[in-house]
Amino acid sequence: MGKYEKDNTYKRAKIIASFMVSIFLSLMVRLYFIQMVKGEKYQELAMNQQIFNIESSLSRGIIFDRNGKKFTNQDEEKVLYIFKKNIKDNKKNIEELKKALKYSNKEIEKLLNSSDSVIEISLDNKDVNLDKLSNIKDVVIVDKQKRNNDKNILAHVIGYINEKDNIGLSGIEKAFDKEPLKANINHGKTPIFVDAKQRVIPGVSADIGRGEVTGIANSLKLTIDYDIQEKTEEILDKSRKKGAVVVSEVDSGDIIAMASRPNVDLTNIKEELNKHDQRFFNKSLELSYPPGSIFKVPVLLAALEKDEVSLEDKIFCKGYEEVENTIINCNKKGGHGEITVFEGLYNSCNSTFIQIGKKIGAEEIVKTAKVLGFGEKINIGLEDESKGNLPKGKDLVGPAIGNISIGQGNIEVTPLQVTNMMMIVANGGVKKDMSIVDSYVTAQGAHGKKIRRESDQRVLSEDLVNMVKKGLDEVVQRGTASNIEMRSIGGGGGKTGSAQAVLNGKETVHAWFTGYFPKDKPKYVITVFIESGDSGSTQAAPVFEKVAKEIYKIENKK
């Protein structure tokens, strides 16, 4: 071989070697890219072909109280997943499943004939054999985070969701469904590995987190105090009455407790929907009722503001008032005789207020009622709020003034509106922007974004309101609520109400009490509504006293 041929052979070999090295390097770069850069993605795609993902936590933010206590996501439950396609063809497995679940033949047949390919059964509070269940093929038991627990504290405010599509249907779950409760949430998943025939591969599992994203404000902090809420509900339950209680903080406008009865079991919505007793309504704000004598507060404020009466003016009560041939009885049989307007307030004398109403007219009363927030929504952060009703047009003329003056007729209010009215009184004529939601927070409870509120607004003069407040103080001292004891916690004031109404086609009387404590520098307003309670003095006022004393205890423990 000549020198020329050798040189050509060497050059060709060099070119081929360079080409091979280039291919090798390209393959190495590609392999590195696949393994290191895109590795997680391809691994996930591969895994998804052989796993069945079970959501082990609902993809929603957590709801906290004002102190960071959880209202949701507190507990876990054991959930059974049955891969129906495979177990249905295995008589031995069906028999084992029936025994472990303690099902009848009819129950197991109904289960296996369901339309779901993977059947989910909560094992909470069920008498089952977990050891036997865990040994059955194509059956998996998973610890799953529960959205709600059996206590059902604050159930009407929290609300419920449709778990299949994760949509909030009531309460906070509805009002804040998209933001923040479903914003930037990872699904907490438990992967179940299956083969090509969707048969469970035992002993193989993985963990893909709990769905909580650190540092992102996807949860809610409420103004509610968990401890006060719990005690309020206990007291309302012990009364064995249907109704509502609202508790607010005077200085801030925060709602710190809101209870409605009958309660809703958020862990068993399907069964609850079959009960027809208005349990799904939050009676604190979604339903409205005649106010009765608590409406005497706006009546007197309207009269004092127009300078039509003074607290020292004397009224004669003969036990009834006649308004255009309509007789309206006073709450005291035989009448109060000669009394002052001030005495008429704390004794809740109907004659006193009907005579006042005749002087000022229905339009002035309604005008002041609107200033106090009646006839409109308070907007505390929840949907489905009722705005109640104030009379207008023909409902203001003729004998209507008799009913309007004592909170009857075509007047309807919510316990929340009544609380707002008493908040204005407790704040000396200043209206606070009330709320039940404080801020967006992280899943760990760290501060995120504060909910914006309107500035305080003076709606009535302080002197005017304080005149009425003195009379409300006397309601508890020697008036219609003198049966309750408030001196041990600083005293208090308020107004009773017994309102005639029609419920389910029958005449009834609802009981009210709304008030504040301590007496001199009020810190809290409490409104109690008892459906068909007959008397505000005997049914609603004692609930007010008990709630106030529990708040006092809790406050002094902190």
Instruction: Report the 3 state secondary structure along 528-557.
Output: EEECCCCCHHHHHHHHHHHHHHHHHHHHHH
Q: Is residue 497 assigned to a domain?
A: yes
Instruction: Give domain status of residue 356, yes or no.
Output: yes
Separation CA 195–CA 49 (nearest Å): 9
Q: Does 202 share its domain with 255?
A: no
| Residue ranges of the chain with per-residue pLDDT less than 70 | 1-15, 17, 19, 21, 29-59, 182-217, 558
Long-range CB pairs of 486-490, under 8 A, 24+ apart, other chains included: 486/517, 486/519, 486/545, 486/548, 488/549, 489/517, 489/518, 489/548, 489/549, 489/552, 490/517, 490/518, 490/519, 490/520
Q: Is residue 25 part of a domain?
A: no
Q: Which domain holds residue 107?
A: 54-151+187-214
Q: Does 230 share its domain with 210? A: no
Residues 192 and 259 in one domain: no
Asked if residue 230 and residue 140 are part of one domain, the reply reads no
Residue 40 included in any domain = no
What are 289-338's pLDDT values in tens digits?
999 999 999 999 999 999 999 999 999 999 999 998 889 999 888 999 99
- CATH number for 248: 3.40.710.10
462 and 428 share one domain:
yes
Residues 198 and 345 in one domain: no
Confirm if 496 and 480 have CB atoms less than 8 A apart: yes
- 147 in the same domain as 251: no
Predicted pLDDT of residue 207: 44
Q: For residues 67 and 208, state if they share a domain.
A: yes
Choose among 381, 453, 449, 58: nearest CA to 217. 449
Our count of domains for the chain comes to 2
167 inside domain: no
Does 33 fall in a domain? no
Is residue 197 located within the same domain as residue 233? no
For the chain, how big is the Rg over CA atoms in Å? 34
Do 139 and 287 sit in the same domain of this protein? no
**431 and 371 assigned to the same domain:** yes
Would you say residue 83 lies in a domain?
A: yes
**332 and 478 fall within a common domain:** yes
Per-residue confidence (pLDDT) for residue 208, from 0 to 100: 41
Looking at the domain assignment, is residue 36 inside a domain?
A: no
Q: In the prediction, which pLDDT does 154 show?
A: 98
